[in-house]
Chain A
């Protein structure tokens, strides 16, 4: 048997192998370093992920599909891998603060993150049904553990079990969809399936596609499959929510883009309708449900659902412009979410952190820097210039208008107005309300670093969006 093709393919897998090595080193540090082993394992992972950005840019792109059509390491995959690494870095920085204060640190969490990142990097570059399934499960299964890892808090266990049950239910449904798609064609490679589907067999392939998408919609928390998200985001430890609410969503959107482009081009009319409906329901559901929340984590959970709805408009308005918009918005979404959940780590109570919106009262007086950064973040979340949140929404709505989906763009704009009401409540609490008794603000360095980074990114790309759109448009799959 000829093994040279497998060995020479290894150089395209450098990021995955590197992440595995980071996880392994961190695991050994956790096992064998007696003094503060858990925290040091975390430092290893953080250093590893920061260096990983460099590794990512040095690793080569594959010429087409490698490993018998299992994966394709293209610039699209590379772009998403960078998003995942950034998400991991922001999460870890916040995690040190959170678990340090709570005095409950499970070192395992730190090396589960690079393992999940391997699953995501494999998922975004996979062009094969079975690779996609296994990679999808590699980032799904350990993320149930992350949701339930904070054993001090009962809500964390509940978040874990809800995430697990609805996640596995949805992956079961996805599997049946895969069975239909695979059974009709007898192929596992995406492009080969797409070619084979071009023939008849409409009904069963269409049902297969819908079931397949249901599984992915669940993971991306798109309504009406978002029921788990508010509970999981409220119950899971805050820094890990930053991870769970951004990276899997990005991975699922990458998988959806690849799937509709290569496997289901035949059903373009049908999936365009599906994405339109999903986008509409998700935006309205997320924003309207967020209006009534008093818990900040729950409010931001609904807000992140609504933002997934804006991203789904990008899928409905399929095209080069819309794809660029999705890639741009995902990066901004990562920073907005990191700051929005990270802000909770500023608010200290006698035990733990304050999670109510009203707990933010008086933040502007005690920490003007944090309040200033949060103002930028809130403007970006609402979609007000000169922030990148505005540019992201502008690109997505422009893509919708270009495709003649005026009503969808109008619904998106209407939703931005609805969202103003609850983002304004956060802003009012920060700037205008009196501090609550028993609450004090501790602007610790890691949290401030994340807030400043988020505000800087949102401002820079809001004023000079071309810096990122040029990269994003080069990374789209549609040329």
Chain B
């Protein structure tokens, strides 16, 4: 049952990413991406991380993608933009992709640490995550808060229209 769900989510994720690449319209691309993020959320749940599944769907599929769609609405390009026509960039992209994929497949074969056999996946409660966040990872947590201030200030200064402009 779980393995069927895995392949279902995986197919949705890969399929919608392909759809995003093929689609010429950014709004459709964004919607495809929402599907991809939601199915990734499902995969997180299957891995035994229900809290991360929820965060993924709320923040990624919810907040971040809404931001994208807002910007697409503001830009309203009319007709879409066709994909790259220059042959060498496509060749370079495919080449890089194949190299990376081959490397990693090779690495997975040679590495006993990636368990290829199944095992029981117990869920993790949000309490544990919260405790770690405020004890072991307190310092990066504070740094993240500064990052968010900086990002807020940065986004405002880039978009704000001031006098004399």
Contacts and interface: CB of A to CB of B under 8 A. Distances in A.
Direct A–B touching, Cβ under 8 Å = yes
Interface in A167-215: 180, 183-184, 200-204, 207
Contacts of B150: 112, 115-116, 119, 138, 141-142, 145
Nearest to B141: A134
Nearest to B162: A106
A195 B119 CA distance: 26
Chain B interface, DSSP helix/strand/loop, else mixed: helix
Contacts of B165: 151-152
Interface in B76-104: 103-104
Given A119-B147, A204-B108, A204-B113, A108 B154 contact: yes
B118 interface: no
Interface residues of B, number: 32
A71 B139 contact: yes
A71 B130 CA distance: 21
A152 B161 CA distance: 11
A379 to B, nearest CB: 38
A1 B114 CA distance: 35
A137 B157 contact: no
Contacts of A91: none
Interface residues of A, number: 46
B58 interface: no
A145 B154 contact: yes
A203 B105 CA distance: 10
Contacts of B104: 207
Contacts of B162: 106
A184 B157 contact: no
A130 interface: yes
B113 A184 contact: yes
Given A112-B153, A204-B113, A148 B158 contact: yes
Interface string B132-149: 000111111001101101
A70 interface: yes
Chain A interface, DSSP helix/strand/loop, else mixed: helix
Contact of B111 (A103, A148, A204): A204
B151 interface: yes
B63 interface: no
Contacts of B147: 119, 134, 137-138, 141
B146 A145 contact: no
Interface string B11-27: 00000000000000000
B156 interface: yes
Contact of A138 (B113, B136, B139, B143): B143
Contacts of A202: 110
Contacts of A118: 143, 146
26 contacts: A27-B153, A68-B136, A70-B138, A106-B157, A108-B156, A108-B157, A112-B154, A128-B140, A130-B140, A134-B144, A135-B140, A135-B143, A141-B147, A141-B154, A142-B151, A145-B154, A148-B158, A151-B158, A183-B113, A184-B111, A201-B113, A202-B110, A204-B110, A204-B114, A207-B104, A207-B107
Interface of A: 1, 6, 20, 27, 67-68, 70-71, 103-104, 106, 108-109, 111-112, 115-116, 118-119, 122, 128, 130-131, 133-135, 137-138, 141-142, 144-145, 148-149, 151-152, 160, 180, 183-184, 200-204, 207
